[in-house]
Structure 1
Amino acid sequence: MQRKPESARSHRTRTAVAALTAVVVLPLGALAGCDSSDSGGKRAQAHRNGPSAPAPTWDRSPRSVAAVGDSITRGFDACSVLADCPKVSWATGSDAQVHSLVSRLGVKKSWNDARTGARMADVPAQIGAAAAHRPQLVTIMAGANDACRDSVSHMTPVDEFRTSFETALKRLATALPKSEVYVSSVPDLKRLWSQGRGNPLGKQIWKLGICSSMLRDADAMNPAAVKRRDAVRERVVAYNAVLKDVCASDEHCRYDGGEVFGFRFTGAQLSPWDWFHPGKDGQERLAEIAYRNVTAARPPA
């Protein structure tokens, strides 16, 4: 994207870069999550009872929503540099421009229990906090930080990712057997790299440590760099396969069918402070996808 001289956006960008160089980028890791040996609660038992049990009806107009996940759901870097901005969250935000999921649903009670830097291992604990509100719908968007590590070798193994996600759903099933779950796919991190790398200042910011497994040496196209980025994308694809598979085993869970992963983000949807996280426009796109899937008569294929 070309920068216009003397523009307000250019001034804000220079200010953001100066601020970023004066601080350490927030770590993408987070507190370790809790494990659970629970069998899955009443709704998992109902699912095991087989086809004789009546299929539950998906509530397309829940009256309360709790959101869990990572920095995307917290609106990180969408309003100002290195800061959460939950008011623009795709899930629970109040910003009129974003028109979040809860706004589109007309929900009056909502809670945002996501945390910047969280990985899937943190989601079970977040589910515990969300369950205390007794929401009718819980949204989950997590997994980007499992792939966004300092190196490919440090990405969360797929089996560990699965265990954490299964534990999260079991914990919710035990606490709130009738609450529904909407699960977003993990975004295509390689797509975000391909869009953000066109901004010279964005690439300088990436050097400070944002998603190094994907964004390090943004212009390098040698075989090693290409292989590294492909490995990150393949891991995200594997995470999404887990989300789809595990969600399908829970009768109150609805996966987005890979819509967020498949969405073709452009620079217009990225944060002007890091050229990676969704900006307000990106948050609005996520809200549109969520609302369409939550209110659909049938789940995505």
Structure 2
Amino acid sequence: MPAQAAAAATPATLSVLSLGDSITQAYGTCGSFGDCPRNNWSTGTSTSVKSFASRLRAALPGTTVTTANFATTGDVVAQVPSRIDAAVAAGVRPDVVTLLIGGNDLCSPDNRVASDGYTMTPASTFRTGASAAITKIRTTWPSARIVLSSMPNVASEWSVVKTGVGALVWSGGDLCRTTRGVSSTGRRLSSTAAAASAAAAKTRTTQYNTALQTACSAAGQLCDWDGGALTATPVTKSLIGTTDYFHPSIAGQAKIASIQWAASNFSK
């Protein structure tokens, strides 16, 4: 909507709630292994990032924007409903809910071997989880606008870090085994099997995105899907943090904020 119309339709106070995983806690961006929420793309305060909430403040100067961050490091999509419950218990009543989820479903070292032999959340399980998460947001806060991100581009990120120290960090952390083309125990696969494994991870990313898009569509016009924009964005070296060579850097957080803002109704 035009800026003037958006301002007219927006209340004097606007509450933004972040849901998701360690990306939305800006893990590693303070130079240590831990959350650094001030740098997160959604509700962070860093001027270097220009978070979604910060962009709302700039676009709606007469509106007070408040924030709450219930994203939780390590979460998979199935855990989002419990974070919604926690937000409700804390008295959060958001007008905007951002959600970036799925990286751990693809990459967590805690993922068990599925029936297809890969350590990723099965597509059907993710589809159920995405539907449950978005449906719960919609039923809990019927008038809230949902800003829904596509999956991070893990394949592109791996292509950047796999020839350097990042490969050692990913291996040591047992991260993204399917993308890296290793077995569930970290054993190097044959070139043919490794290629098939990486291809399976790309396919699973597409399946996760389809599940998220479908859930967003079912939630109605108050759900803004980024159209796969985050997944389609190539990951460059500057966008990757050097604490663990896995999570976004401050520049990476800024890139996510820019993508999600552009995809949202607020930027129109």
Could you state the TM-score of these two structures normalised by the residue count of structure 1?
Answer: 0.74
Query: 1:112–1:187: structure 2 CA closer, same or farther, 3 Å change rule?
Result: same
Q: Is the 8 A contact 1:144 1:236 kept in 2?
A: no
State the one-letter code of the partner of 1:96: T
Could you tell me how far apart the structure 2 residues matched to 1:77 and 1:289 are? Answer: 21
Q: Secondary structure at the match of 1:154?
A: coil
CA RMSD of aligned residues (A): 2.3
Query: Cα distance, 1:216 vs. partner?
Result: 5.8
Could you tell me how far apart the structure 2 residues matched to 1:180 and 1:117 are? Answer: 25
Could you tell me how far apart the structure 2 residues matched to 1:75 and 1:282 are? Answer: 10
Query: Cα distance, 1:195 vs. partner?
Result: 1.0
Query: 1:149–1:213: structure 2 CA closer, same or farther, 3 Å change rule?
Result: farther
% identity of equivalent residues: 32
Aligned length: 240
Choose from 15, 18, 27 the match for 1:76: 27
- Bigger mean CA deviation after superposition, 153-162 or 220-229: 220-229
Larger Rg: 1 or 2?
Answer: 1
- Are 2:147 and 1:182 aligned? yes
Partner of 2:209: 240
Is there any run of 5+ residues in structure 1 with no aligned partner, and where? 1-56
State the one-letter code of the partner of 1:137: V
Partner of 1:172: 137
Partner of 2:124: 159
| Counterparts of residues 5-16 of structure 1 (less than 5 Å) | none
- Are 2:55 and 1:104 aligned? yes
State the one-letter code of the partner of 2:226: D
Could you tell me how far apart the structure 2 residues matched to 1:283 and 1:160 are? Answer: 28
Query: Cα distance, 1:220 vs. partner?
Result: 7.5
- Are 2:158 and 1:193 aligned? yes
Could you tell me how far apart the structure 1 residues matched to 2:158 and 2:119 are? Answer: 19
Moved over 6 A (4+): 57-60, 218-221
Choose from 207, 221, 230 the match for 2:199: 230
Could you tell me how far apart the structure 2 residues matched to 1:66 and 1:253 are? Answer: 14
Partner of 1:46: none
Partner of 1:211: 176
Partner of 1:116: 73
Q: Is the 8 A contact 2:29 2:249 kept in 1?
A: yes
Q: Secondary structure at the match of 1:121?
A: helix
Could you tell me how far apart the structure 2 residues matched to 1:99 and 1:149 are? Answer: 28
State the one-letter code of the partner of 1:248: S
Q: Secondary structure at the match of 2:118?
A: helix
Partner of 1:288: 258
Q: Is the 8 A contact 2:181 2:195 kept in 1?
A: no
Q: Secondary structure at the match of 1:291?
A: helix
Q: Secondary structure at the match of 1:237?
A: helix
Q: Is the 8 A contact 1:270 1:282 kept in 2?
A: yes
Could you tell me how far apart the structure 2 residues matched to 1:228 and 1:157 are? Answer: 14
Choose from 119, 123, 144 the match for 2:103: 144
Q: Is the 8 A contact 1:149 1:213 kept in 2?
A: no
Q: Secondary structure at the match of 2:219?
A: coil
Partner of 2:229: 259
- Are 2:235 and 1:268 aligned? no
Could you tell me how far apart the structure 2 residues matched to 1:240 and 1:82 are? Answer: 28
Could you state the TM-score of these two structures normalised by the residue count of structure 2?
Answer: 0.82
Query: 1:267–1:220: structure 2 CA closer, same or farther, 3 Å change rule?
Result: farther
State the one-letter code of the partner of 1:145: N
Could you tell me how far apart the structure 2 residues matched to 1:243 and 1:98 are? Answer: 25
Query: 1:229–1:61: structure 2 CA closer, same or farther, 3 Å change rule?
Result: farther
Q: Is the 8 A contact 2:127 2:211 kept in 1?
A: yes
Is there any run of 5+ residues in structure 2 with no aligned partner, and where? 58-63
Q: Is the 8 A contact 1:67 1:130 kept in 2?
A: no
Query: 1:237–1:58: structure 2 CA closer, same or farther, 3 Å change rule?
Result: farther
